[in-house]
Amino acid sequence: MLVVKNLSVKTLDGNIIVNPVSFELVAGEALTIVGETGSGKTLLAQAIANNLPEGLIAEGEIYLHDQAIHTISADDRNALWGKTICVLPQEPTRSLDPTMHAIKQVKEGYQIVKGLNASDATAQASHDFESVKLPHATHKYPFELSGGMAQRVAFLASRSGGATFTVADEPTKGLDANRRDDIAKQLRSLIEKNEGVFTITHDIDVAHQLGGRVMIMRKGDIIEVGESQQVLSHPAHPYTQELIDADPRRWPKREAKSNKGPSIVNAKNLSKSRGGKALFSDVSLSLHPGQIIGVSGDSGCGKSTLGDMLLGLLPSDSGTIEWAHKNNEKHKAQKLFQDPTDVFSAHVPLRTSFNDLMKKYHIGQDKLTGLLAELRLDEGLIDRNPDQVSGGELQRLAIVRVMLLDPTFIFADEPTSRLDMLTQKAVIEALVNVVKHSDVAIMIVSHDKALLSSVCDELITL
């Protein structure tokens, strides 16, 4: 089905980002690339799908269904989208139309690409929403969906054209374990239909579930290839073992901190409903300096809503919230968004965004440089636009932005859901060190209960 020969990705001035790689994918097979953020996984997939960011070029040979697609025009390759190739995006909010109801975005694929009439397209789209447990979300706009819900809608929309070759770029990012397994099951169903599935993931469990073959990628190179069960259970390369060992289930338990001293924020008997449905009720919590509280629950249960209520971004239906800081110190309560694209303006260089913030709050350049190093980020990244860095890199830059303000409270909404396990571990360790050496309190939302159990003093399940 897919044959790739000596495919590389370069900048316009010849700097090689992804070194030449060759591989084949046969119909009815899963091929999964695993590696840390910034290793070149997504760029390799974008080179195959012909949607590399501006300023990057691909070289090499690509054959899909025996067609040499590297020799045809960009317009002809783009015409393959939907009908022959579909891409499940890494950032669903970048692919969904903010002005359209969710079901219309799936329906139009059946009509425009597959050629169904309006009635049949609506019926098929409705069935799709049932299949991913989102029947209640058909007439919601993307901004009304949680990150996990938006990911599932993007999956349905990208698949509606009937393509037989799927590029799945981190398709389970931000999903709880049940929803992650649902998406993996959907991908497995494509394989059972004798289609081809090319997946990029940092989730070892997803690679296990998909089976087939796996390629381990590091710094633009493929360092290990083989059957997934063999490579992930008995790795030959030390880096592969390092990835496996970074699983939160293998982390040591952080020593719990007692609730001493005055609280930073007190919330009592909070409740919230949406669309006539109760999300949660009678939730009370108190955060003290140096404390970490975790919040878990299924996608759409109100985890992000709870944090937004604490920050005053959403009103509560009932209950009270009291802060220790003064009104002129509201910037000391900060949010790490689930989707880092919500933080930075898409068309403004990252350095400009950071400079504006540092100028407003009189922050020195040395502090920025130190935080970038602590979070394993090259300072040169901030000379790019947000769409020119990976999702994981952008999430870490969002963490740097928050930490520049020396906050007393951080609401971390799935702060590592878009990171590979190695980088996730480094980021969580950085947040824990901030707590250890300062008076900041953190509330972490995560679908990963193993992660929360390892680092949190208390756990709230919604």
The SS3 assignment for 283 reads: strand
For residue 192, give Cα distances in angstroms to 24, 29, 69, 408: 18, 8, 25, 51
Under a CB-based contact definition with an 8 Å cutoff, are residues 322 and 331 in contact? no
Mean pLDDT of 233-247: 92
Report the distance separating Cα 382 and Cα 354, nearest Å: 8
Under a CB-based contact definition with an 8 Å cutoff, are residues 130 and 72 in contact? no
The SS3 assignment for 303 reads: helix
Under a CB-based contact definition with an 8 Å cutoff, are residues 174 and 205 in contact? no
CATH of domain 2-247: 3.40.50.300
Report the distance separating Cα 217 and Cα 93, nearest Å: 26
Has residue 355 got a pLDDT over 90? yes
List Cβ neighbours of 220 (8 Å cut-off, separation of 6 or more).
Answer: 9, 16, 17, 18, 19, 39, 40
In the chain, the amino acid numbered 263 is: S
C-alpha Rg value of the chain to the nearest Å: 22
- Helix then strand count (H, E) for the chain reads 16, 18
Q: β-strands 196-201, 30-35: how paired?
A: parallel
Under a CB-based contact definition with an 8 Å cutoff, are residues 10 and 57 in contact? yes
Q: Where are the alpha helices (DSSP H) in 361-420?
A: 365-374, 391-403
Residues β-bridged to residue 4: 23, 62
pLDDT digits (tens, 9 = 90+) for 106-145: 999 999 988 899 999 999 999 999 988 899 999 999 988 8
Has residue 94 got a pLDDT over 80? no
pLDDT digits (tens, 9 = 90+) for 154-213: 889 988 988 889 999 888 876 777 778 888 888 888 899 898 899 998 888 899 999 999
- pLDDT band (50, 70, 90) for residue 250: confident
Mean pLDDT of the chain: 88
Answer positive or negative: Cα dihedral of 191, 193, 194, 197: negative
pLDDT digits (tens, 9 = 90+) for 365-396: 999 999 998 887 899 999 999 988 876 788 88
The residue ranking higher by pLDDT, 356 or 337, is: 356
E strands of 328-422, at which residues?
A: 333-336, 409-413
Mean pLDDT of 33-46: 87
Under a CB-based contact definition with an 8 Å cutoff, are residues 229 and 32 in contact? no
Q: Report pLDDT for 260.
A: 66
Has residue 18 got a pLDDT over 80? yes
pLDDT digits (tens, 9 = 90+) for 147-161: 778 888 988 998 898
pLDDT digits (tens, 9 = 90+) for 68-81: 888 888 788 778 88
List Cβ neighbours of 169 (8 Å cut-off, separation of 6 or more).
Answer: 42, 45, 87, 88, 89, 90, 200
E strands of 288-389, at which residues?
A: 292-296, 318-323, 333-336
Has residue 217 got a pLDDT over 90? yes
Report the distance separating Cα 172 and Cα 90, nearest Å: 9
Under a CB-based contact definition with an 8 Å cutoff, are residues 9 and 47 in contact? yes
Q: Report pLDDT for 259.
A: 65
Report the distance separating Cα 36 and Cα 41, nearest Å: 8
Under a CB-based contact definition with an 8 Å cutoff, are residues 340 and 384 in contact? no
Residues of the chain with CATH 3.40.50.300: 2-247, 250-461
Q: What is the DSSP letter of 195?
A: -
The CATH class that applies to domain 250-461 reads alpha beta
- pLDDT band (50, 70, 90) for residue 429: confident
pLDDT digits (tens, 9 = 90+) for 304-341: 899 999 999 999 999 999 998 776 678 889 998 877 78
Has residue 256 got a pLDDT over 80? no
Mean pLDDT of 54-69: 90
Report the distance separating Cα 320 and Cα 310, nearest Å: 10
- pLDDT band (50, 70, 90) for residue 298: confident
Report the distance separating Cα 100 and Cα 97, nearest Å: 6
Quote the tokens at residue 297.
């629950």
Report the distance separating Cα 307 and Cα 294, nearest Å: 11
Residue pointed to by tokens 């597959």: 114
